[in-house]
Amino acid sequence: MKLSIFIYFCLILPIFSINWLEVLENTLDKNVGVCDNLYRHVCPQNKTDGFSQIVKQEFRKDFEKYKIPENFEKIKEEIETLIETIRNNTTFDLIFEKSEKFCQENRDEFRLFLEQLESLIRNENIPCEDDRCFVIALENDNCTDVVEFIKFNLKKNFDLAKEEIKFVYLPIDATDVLQSFEWIKNNTEVFDRINSTIAIIKALTSEKLRETPWIKNNNLTRIFENISKKLYLPDPEIIANLNIKRLTDYESNLNKCSKNVPSDLISICHLHTIKNMDKKDKYALFSGDNAFNSYPIMGFGLAFAYYAKIDLPPAFYLGSIAQIVAHEVGHTYIVSERGDNFLPYFSNDTRNCIQNQFTKSCEYFAEGECKTSDIQFDDNGADSFSFEIMYQIFKAFYGETMNDEIIGSKIGMTHAQLYFYSHGTTLCSPKPRISYPKGSHHASNVRINSGAAQNLDFGKTFNCAPNSKMIESRAEKCYIFGENAAETRF
Ligand SMILES: *[C@@H]1O[C@H](CO)[C@@H](O)[C@H](O)[C@H]1NC(C)=O
Ligand SMILES: *[C@@H]1O[C@H](CO)[C@@H](O)[C@H](O)[C@H]1NC(C)=O
Ligand SMILES: *[C@@H]1O[C@H](CO)[C@@H](O)[C@H](O)[C@H]1NC(C)=O
Ligand SMILES: *[C@@H]1O[C@H](CO)[C@@H](O)[C@H](O)[C@H]1NC(C)=O
Ligand SMILES: *[C@@H]1O[C@H](CO)[C@@H](O)[C@H](O)[C@H]1NC(C)=O
Ligand SMILES: *[C@@H]1O[C@H](CO)[C@@H](O)[C@H](O)[C@H]1NC(C)=O
Ligand SMILES: *[C@@H]1O[C@H](CO)[C@@H](O)[C@H](O)[C@H]1NC(C)=O
Ligand SMILES: *[C@@H]1O[C@H](CO)[C@@H](O)[C@H](O)[C@H]1NC(C)=O
Ligand SMILES: *[C@@H]1O[C@H](CO)[C@@H](O)[C@H](O)[C@H]1NC(C)=O
């Protein structure tokens, strides 16, 4: 591994005012042993002032200092109206009332009205498909039926628009996008750090893929490398500019439409504008504590990215945000049998091994409903991938010094211990953690504890007895990639 890239881990991007080591040490729950339950040792149940809550508060304080530039206030309002309009059904009722009235009283007005509706919603280049057509309603004389027809078609169009919005074609929370942009301008180094982390994870993964028996024996290395190469983190300034362009386009298109349309049809103009948006690059800036891999692009909410600024030894960064980065990168290489992925292969043995660990961790740590289901595999796999690869990177970075005490620690915490603690902080919640059979993510406590249970050094790091829960909950050791990985694939 290249040392030049490693240097990024050493760069401290400090938030000076807080002693984060003290914060971390004070939030650890002394009543729950780390060997009995890593997650609950780090994230005390029923307490609201856990480490991650403090990080989030600090991030919010910092974020709120950044204001939306004044020239965007109007756009912001328009986008907010859009959201409200889409949620509001009252404007629809107006449209339906109008349709009913025209239908019964004035067929000429009704025709004009339907033509207008259709021209706004239908793309003229495509044939009149049922749900985009309104004028054909004139063929029916029964106004009850006609209004039903219009209702049905409009609802269908709005449902589609809602779906499109959900997938961030449009940076729907304009305030958040604009404020995020301002924040990023002052914090570019955070994204540089994440980007070099991605490069390191990819480089090490490449090495491991080449050694993986089921990949090697099936000549899949080049396919994997190709896929790997294309994954990237877009420059946040470019995303921001794209989002802002989209907001301004939205405004001007909406204005164009509103000029020709009665004010009670304004919601149709929103629909029209959404339909005609450039939907090519569907990503937005966002401030939340979330991350995604929407291959080939990745995205990190700023509340997560903020972790990269916390002034603690590199072990903390490696175990927290870098671990999340690895999880997102991992989604690229982990495939479920469902096959809804660009990567057609994975090992069934490895898949079963991973699921078994999650099942066993459920048995030991359930705080309520705890089920390991097939639908979670993509995420469980990405977790397992990230725990495996980040620990390797952590060890390579620290070498012998990983068991040295951290200067200033009141409890004699070592770097290796900090590394494990930091995992837990990112998924912290004081509430009982449960997993729904239909949810794509397993319960946070199971995610953290199964990752640590799989780590053969965990017991040594904390001096755990062999019969402690963290050690006993280990299922068979899984090797996802590398020379010890499985022979077979599906
Ligand atoms: C948390 O609070 C609930 C309800 O107040 C209680 O039943 C439970 O025992 C508490 N758990 C812990 C670990 O303190
Ligand atoms: C952004 O950085 C500049 C230069 O370091 C600084 O003067 C300014 O206060 C920062 N903005 C905020 C909102 O913190
Ligand atoms: C949404 O409905 C409320 C009343 O329920 C109304 O006051 C508000 O103006 C409506 N907003 C839009 C954008 O139509
Ligand atoms: C709007 O209508 C949908 C069904 O058409 C309904 O599910 C939803 O609750 C309604 N929303 C409001 C705010 O009335
Ligand atoms: C219109 O159609 C509805 C059912 O779709 C029916 O109940 C009603 O009687 C019809 N009205 C007339 C005037 O035919
Ligand atoms: C893999 O490729 C090599 C040559 O590049 C070829 O000899 C070998 O048969 C291939 N193996 C499989 C399983 O396709
Ligand atoms: C990898 O990608 C390059 C170009 O993107 C293509 O020419 C090559 O065939 C690909 N190789 C495999 C094994 O998919
Ligand atoms: C990350 O690095 C890649 C090149 O490795 C570059 O294309 C991309 O713009 C960078 N992204 C960020 C956020 O710096
Ligand atoms: C994968 O393993 C599971 C559990 O052993 C088995 O039921 C399934 O048939 C296997 N699938 C394939 C494709 O081998």
pLDDT digit string, tens, across residues 313-341: 999 999 999 999 999 999 999 876 655 55
Q: Which residue has a Cα nearest atom 6 of ligand 9?
A: 348
Q: How far is the centre of ligand 4, averaged over its atoms, from the C-alpha of 88 (Å)?
A: 8
How far apart are alpha carbons 418 and 183 in whole angstroms? 28
Distance of alpha carbon 275 from alpha carbon 120, whole angstroms: 9
pLDDT number for residue 200: 96
Task: Report d(CA 101, CA 147) in Å as an integer.
Answer: 10
Query: What pLDDT, on a 0 to 100 scale, did the predictor assign at position 410?
Result: 96
Helix/strand/coil for 402: helix
Please determine, for residue 346, whether its predicted confidence score (pLDDT) is greater than 80: yes
Residue 7 has pLDDT above 50, yes or no: no
Task: Give the least confident one: 7-21, 119-133, 382-396, 426-440.
Answer: 7-21
Is the pLDDT confidence value at 284 over 50?
Answer: yes
CA-atom Rg of the chain in angstroms: 27
What pLDDT sits at residue 488? 75
Asked whether 222 lines ligand 7 (CB < 6 A), one says yes
Distance of CA 239 from the midpoint of ligand 2 (Å): 21
Give me ligand 2 centre to Cα 148, in Å: 56
Cα 131 to averaged position of ligand 4 atoms, centre (Å): 19
Distance of CA 410 from the midpoint of ligand 4 (Å): 56
Least confident interval from 342-346, 353-357, 441-445: 342-346
Cα of 342 to ligand 7 centre, how many Å? 14
Question: What's the CA-to-centroid distance between 220 and ligand 6, angstroms?
Answer: 10
Spatial distance between the Cα atoms of 332 and 55, rounded to a whole number of angstroms = 29
pLDDT, one tens digit per residue, over 140-151 is 889 999 888 888
Strand, helix or coil at 206? Answer: helix
Token couple for 380: 């469980």
User: Residue written as tokens 């963290």?
Assistant: 470
DSSP state of 485: S
Which ligand 1 atom is the nearest neighbour of the CA of 45? 13
Looking from the CA of residue 236, the nearest atom of ligand 8 is 13
* C-alpha span between 189 and 196 (Å, rounded): 11
Q: Determine the angle formed by the axes of helices 377-398 and 188-211, rounding to 10 degrees.
A: 100
Tell me if 306 sits within 8 A of 190, measured CB to CB: yes
Lining residues, ligand 4, CB within 6 Å: 89, 155
Spatial CB neighbours of 22, under 8 Å, sequence gap ≥ 6: 410
Per residue in 161-186, pLDDT (tens digit) is 766 665 544 555 667 778 888 999 99
Pick the ligand that lies closest to the CA of residue 216.
6
For residue 264, which ligand has an atom nearest its CA? 3
Q: Which atom of ligand 6 is closest in space to residue 219's alpha carbon?
A: 1
Ligand 6 proximity of 218 Cβ (cutoff 6 Å): yes
Per-residue pLDDT, 196: 95
Are 462 and 34 spatial neighbours (Cβ–Cβ below 8 Å)? yes
For the Cβ of 144 lying below 6 angstroms from any atom of ligand 5, the answer is: yes
Which 8-state DSSP code applies to residue 286? -
Neighbours of 374 (CB within 10 A): 13
Q: 178, 241 in Cβ contact below 8 A?
A: no
Which has the closest alpha carbon to 2: 189, 188, 201, 192?
Answer: 201
Residue 455, Cα to own-chain centre: how many angstroms? 25
Minimal-distance CA residue to ligand 6 atom 7: 219
Whose CA is closest to atom 11 on ligand 9? Answer: 348
* 451 or 67, higher pLDDT: 451
Ligand 9: centre distance to CA 489 (Å)? 10
Closest CA to 301 of 396, 177, 128: 177
d(CA 267, CA 100): 18
Q: What is the rounded distance in angstroms from the CA atom of residue 457 to the CA atom of residue 89? A: 57
374: its two tokens? 């097939």
Q: Which ligand is nearest to the CA of 31?
A: 1
Euclidean distance between CA atoms 1 and 287, whole angstroms = 32
Pocket test for ligand 9, best of 349, 352, 478 (most atoms within 8 A of CB): 352
Ligand (nearest to CA of 221): 7
Indicate which residue's Cα is closest to atom 14 of ligand 4: 89
Q: Which atom of ligand 9 is nearest to the CA of 337?
A: 13
Predicted local distance difference test score (pLDDT) of residue 60: 94
Task: Determine the distance separating the centroid of ligand 3 and the alpha carbon of 91, expressed in angstroms.
Answer: 8
Q: What is the dihedral of CA 59, 65, 68, 73, to 10 degrees?
A: 110
Strand pairing category for 291-294 and 297-300: antiparallel
Q: Whose CA is nearest to atom 4 of ligand 5?
A: 145
Whole-angstrom distance, CA of residue 322 vs CA of residue 343? 23
Q: Which residues line ligand 3 (CB under 6 A)?
A: 81, 84-85, 88, 90-91
Nearest residue (by CA) to ligand 7, atom 1, is: 226
Burial of 65 (0-12, 13-18, 19+ CB in 10 A): exposed
Give CA angle at 449 (447, 454), nearest 5°: 100
Taking each helix axis from N to C end, the angle separating 90-105 and 266-275, rounded to the nearest 10 degrees, works out to: 110
State which amino acid sits at residue 350: T
* C-beta 223 within 6 A of ligand 7: yes
CA–centroid distance, residue 43 to ligand 1 (Å) = 13
Determine the residue type at 129.
E
pLDDT digits (tens, 9 = 90+) for 440-485: 899 999 999 999 999 999 999 999 999 999 999 999 999 999 999 9
Q: 145 CB less than 6 Å from ligand 5?
A: yes
